[in-house]
Chains A and B, each alone.
Chain A
Amino acid sequence: MTTVPITPDYAEPLPPIVRPAGETNYLNISYTLKSWLLTLDHKRIGMLYLMSVTFFFLIGGIFATLMRLELATPQGDLVGPDTYNKLFTAHGVTMIFFFLIPSIPATIGNFMLPIMIGARDLAFPRINLFSWYLYLIGAAFTMAAMISGGVDTGWTFYTPYSSVYSNSQVALAVVGIFVTGFSSILTGLNFVVTVHKMRAPGMTFFRMPLFVWSNYATSLIMVLGTPVISITLALVAVERLFGVGIFDPSNGGDPVLFQHMFWFYSHPAVYIMVLPGFGVISELMAAFSRKPVFGYKVVAFASLAIALLSFFVWGHHMFTTGQSIYGGLVFSVLSFLVGIPTAVKVFNWTFTMYKGSVSLETPMLFALGFLGLFTLGGLTGLFLAAVGLDVHMHDTYFVVAHFHYVMVGGTVLAFLGGLHYWWPKMTGKMYAEGWGKVSAVLVFAGFNLTFFPQFILGYLGMPRRYYAYASEFQVLHVLSSAGASVLALGFALPAIYLTYSLFRGTPAGDNPWGAKGLEWETTSPPPTENFRRIPIVTEDAYNYPLAEPKHGLYPEDRLIDNQSKTDRGDLQALKAGDRH
């Protein structure tokens, strides 16, 4: 029995989930390589994506390590300026296009989104697989460019650096990003259609988990924004390959037009990166506070508001390009506006914890880390959105620190939190909780040590993208490099203990966190068709009886016999035994 009850009647405990002997799931249904490479199962494709993005995270991390090593001393002793240019380009391109953008939606989203709305798969399984291959082909092109000489333009490919002055492999890299863009478009398209057309009976829009809402908003940006960068980069490729001028001023082109078109996508793209993270955090906050997300609808609409507004703020990257002062003013005000729905979310997550029964398991530790780091990143974004201040800060380490706080402190922490939270569902195995906590703490500490000094560096005037610097900056740079090694350790740990748990982990049970949501109603790992029967949804998301205590932190009179109140997962039931 894996269905939701017809009437939500907590008076009677749900029947235990009985597993038929020799039951198949999506993992053990076949073991051949072919069955993986040609799979149409969204869960397997999600796992394939997970392996690929992890690989590119490693590659991007290696580039970053080399940069941080170089920056340990003021002179350029490890690499020269040209190599350094290629390193930061390779780092940025790999991390943004091949790790961050697909990180949450294509892995956890691919796996969980259909299950969370009670569907048997994404609407277009073949397109889903195709998108993974496109991603790999694109990555192959871009990586070929990195190996065969590299690219020295920065991930932003500003013309005329990229079109006229660079003699590196720009065209090849750009073609790779073009192809990968289509993989992202197809994932978004699949999500949009799935959310609209594949929901289980009773799963109305306002019963969808917020993770689904935020991935939906992300998908809209993917579908509407990505083609613009595709065509823009294609124009750069045409310009280089055919030697014609499109953005080349000596041929009447306008290099600033490139920047407009680049940021028209790339600002929304930062929300492609962070919105799915928002979704993960909503899930984690509810599950580990045992409370519904505070202001569910507001959080849902905030995702849409962010997606919409994000298309109208691109000019804040261009305050110093000589765009009109009124333009700057409007972009500045609009950028402040994006801060509102974003701040709403942060407040609502905080209020979700308020009077909740908060428990600090690994996913929640990552979520709390997210909350602090993302808030700092978002607030410094507002600094940068103030025209006057940005003229001072633009192209300094302050910007570098800002976007690492939102992208690493935000998205990567959310990714790790989500990965730990859903790992037992995805693999059926429990990871080593103790090591998880160690990793969460190391990441948080290492991250702050790496990037907080960069705010100060930037404020003091250290420009970004330089391989050598004035010696008075050395202390802060050394702190940053030291922090980076702690951070690297923090990232390496999960890779090890999660992989280990695949083989030696204890079976996790179907709902180890005692969490709500359709994904916890099916078995772990789920069967190929996700549900033996399509569930009929009769309750809102996060229907935790208000502040239902999880750890007996509250006086007995506030407990309403919670054992019989909800279906507690196997693990929780075990734990509860030694607490009461």
Chain B
Amino acid sequence: MSEIHATAPLTHPGSPVLDSQEPRQFTGKETDGHVHTFFDQDQYPAMHFEDAGQQKLAAALGMWAFLATEVLLFAGLFLVYTIYRNLNHEGFFLGSHMLDIPKGTANTMVLLLSSVCVVLAVNQAQKGNSRGIVRNLIFTMILGLVFFVIKGFEWHHDYEEGLVPWMQWDGDRLGDKNFQLRLFMVLYFVMTGTHAAHMIVGMVLLGVVAYKAHQNRFRPDYYTPLEMVGLYWHFVDIVWVFLIPTLYLIDLYAKTPGGGH
């Protein structure tokens, strides 16, 4: 508020006293035979930040804001799902019971484990162990691939069963309510597909960060990209944790939609 006295500059700890600072010369500064420009990418903190602390905080807030966007993107899908499930109990019940719970469970485990590996990678970064980072990120990516393999088998199985509405549809399971099952399967593919797309992005990002770690670009006081990609990966996992009960576990022990045990 305005009563804060700004004569005492509100800066981050460790920043130079701004007032006594000479005008900073940004362009044309030459070090090691390399002429720096304002936006040189190999400077840390980057030129437009006052200090490393500011850059870190900005990156973190940026990532969380991006995750907020992602939450609302998936929220749209969950909304459509919720409304249609309410209108089409039988189809959703049947569809859910036709999904492969063991494979879904296995994939949940795989993803949770991959999240652990990311945490371990961050931990290695704090210790300044680049090889440790690379190792753990490779584990993460392998687990990501395992997820896709299992998911691939599952989708293939759905295909053989005739459960893919636009390719292979075995029409008659619910008679005149067959459209309900169709709707469920469409949403199942759209939701798991959107999730898979996010995983692909995540895998690419993990690869980039692993490469940077391999080049020894991180230090115990600087591993922001790794941390951000880690956040993103955790988010993608959490989405899956919501997808599992939503799609696979409808009225799990019931014989009829909404029926008792």
Contact = CB atoms under 8 A, between A and B. Distances in A.
B223 interface: no
Interface stretch (B61-69, B148-156, B249-257): B61-69
A120 B47 contact: yes
A536 B6 CA distance: 7
B225 interface: no
A185 B68 CA distance: 11
B35 interface: no
A252 B61 contact: no
Given A253-B183, A540-B2, A232 B61 contact: no
Given A123-B62, A254-B83, A536-B6, A201 B11 contact: yes
Given A227-B73, A228-B72, A228-B76, A235 B38 contact: no
Interface residues of A, number: 61
Interface stretch (B16-24, B136-144, B209-217, B232-240): B16-24
A119 B48 contact: yes
A254 B48 contact: no
Interface stretch (A236-244, A277-285, A385-393, A463-471): A236-244
A538 interface: yes
Contact of A193 (B1, B4, B58): B58
Nearest to B185: A244
A536 B62 contact: no
B192 interface: no
Interface string A207-230: 100000000000000011111101
B166 interface: yes
A204 B179 contact: no
Interface residues of B, number: 54
A228 B73 contact: yes
Contact of A252 (B4, B73, B76, B179): B179
A246 B27 contact: no
A230 B69 CA distance: 11
B20 to A, nearest CB: 10
A231 B7 contact: no
Interface in B178-228: 179-180, 182-183, 186-187, 190, 194
A202 B9 contact: yes
Contacts of A194: 58
B88 interface: yes
Given A41-B39, A197-B57, A202-B9, A252 B68 contact: no
B98 interface: no
A395 interface: no
Between A204, A205, A230, A231, the greatest number of chain B beta carbons within 10 A of the residue's beta carbon is seen for A231
Contact of B19 (A6, A197, A205): A6
B26 A529 contact: yes
Contact of A197 (B1, B61, B84): B61
A532 interface: yes
A251 B169 CA distance: 14
A261 B65 contact: no
Nearest to B182: A251
Given A202-B10, A228-B73, A245 B186 contact: yes
B38 A529 contact: yes
A419 interface: no
A251 B179 contact: yes
B99 to A, nearest CB: 18
Contacts of A243: 166
B165 to A, nearest CB: 5
B32 to A, nearest CB: 22
A55 interface: no
Contacts of B2: 204, 206-207, 540
B62 A125 contact: no
A538 B58 contact: no
B108 interface: no
A201 B190 contact: no
A534 interface: yes
Contacts of B39: 40-41, 125
A260 to B, nearest CB: 9
A198 interface: yes
B21 A121 contact: no
B182 A245 contact: yes
A538 B18 contact: no
A124 interface: yes
A225 B75 CA distance: 11
B135 to A, nearest CB: 29
A529 B24 contact: yes
Given A40-B39, A244-B182, A252 B84 contact: yes
Contacts of B57: 197
Interface in A115-135: 119-121, 123-125, 127
A252 B180 contact: yes
Contacts of A120: 47-49
Nearest to B6: A202
A39 to B, nearest CB: 8
Contact of A534 (B18, B68, B73): B18
Nearest to B57: A197
25 contacts: A7-B7, A41-B38, A124-B58, A192-B65, A197-B57, A197-B58, A202-B9, A204-B2, A206-B2, A207-B2, A224-B72, A225-B72, A227-B69, A235-B80, A246-B80, A252-B182, A254-B87, A257-B80, A528-B26, A528-B27, A532-B24, A533-B18, A533-B21, A534-B21, A536-B7
Given A201-B10, A246-B187, A254-B84, 5 more contacts: A41-B39, A230-B73, A235-B80, A250-B179, A253-B183
Interface of B: 1-2, 4, 6-7, 9-11, 18-19, 21, 23-24, 26-27, 38-39, 47-50, 54, 57-58, 61-62, 65-66, 68-70, 72-77, 79-80, 83-84, 87-88, 91, 165-166, 179-180, 182-183, 186-187, 190, 194
